[in-house]
Amino acid sequence: MLKKILMASAAVMLLAACDQQPTQAVSAPAAPPAPPQQSYFVYFGSGQAMLSPESSNTVMQAADAFKAGGASVNITGHTDTVGDANSNLELSQHRAAAVKDGLVRNGVPAASIQLMGNGEQGLPVQTADNVSERRNRSVDIVVARRPMLTDSEYCNALSVTYRQYRQNQIDEAAAQAMSRCPTADAANAIPTLEQNLRQNNIALPSRYKS
């Protein structure tokens, strides 16, 4: 009987010891890196070079992608194989120009845009002559993104911005966060600095390299 009591007591003590073991924090998985480029397709009616409401919405999405960290935009106009090849080449150029105008209206600098019209050459979908193919009546938009700053670089940019606007009012939490920017713990310092800047209505620096 005494042996059973001792064994039960030992089991209780072992469980209590396990409960007191510190729990290791599990780090959140890192966000996947942004793709180096994003592609959009703007469709046109047969023989048309005017943006439809659907196409205008696609152009706006591409413009937003550029403004969120784009470096340049490449536009390539196409046509299907219906009609004269020379006329189709001109039509593809008009389509590309319409897309460029739409991007500029949505805030993309014209100097950041390169465009060309390929007509019936280099078709997205290869077809025989006089085949009406919707994918070929389109303009491809490729938004190339700027490379992102590393955590340490972005943390340092936040620190520079913070010191610029709060030279004599650096609080302890921000000071501790800034001291971690050159270390491997920079990623954990970033939210503190971002929150502090937002609370003081200070615009955050870009996460992308210029």
pLDDT, position 202: 86
Decide if pLDDT at 39 tops 60: yes
Instruction: Please tell me whether residues 178 and 88 are part of one structural domain.
Output: no
Spatial separation of the C-alpha atoms in residues 105 and 122, rounded to whole Å: 28
Whether 204 is covered by a domain: the verdict is: no
Which sign does the torsion angle of CA 49, 114, 154, 161 carry?
negative
Instruction: Please tell me whether residues 87 and 127 are part of one structural domain.
Output: yes
8 A C-beta contact, residue 76 and residue 115: yes
State the chain's mean pLDDT as an integer.
84
8 A C-beta contact, residue 197 and residue 158: yes
Instruction: Please tell me whether residues 121 and 175 are part of one structural domain.
Output: no
Helix (H/G/I), strand (E/B), else coil: 104: helix
| pLDDT band, very low/low/confident/very high, at 207 (cuts 50, 70, 90) | confident
pLDDT, position 35: 66
Q: How many CB atoms lie within 10 A of CB 92?
A: 26
- How many domains would you assign to the chain? 2
Instruction: Please tell me whether residues 137 and 42 are part of one structural domain.
Output: yes
What CATH number is associated with residue 67?
A: 3.30.1330.60
Instruction: Please tell me whether residues 133 and 68 are part of one structural domain.
Output: yes
- pLDDT mean over 24-30: 41
pLDDT, position 28: 40
Question: Alpha carbon of 170 to those of 57, 154, 174, 197: distances in Å?
Answer: 44, 19, 7, 11
pLDDT, position 30: 45
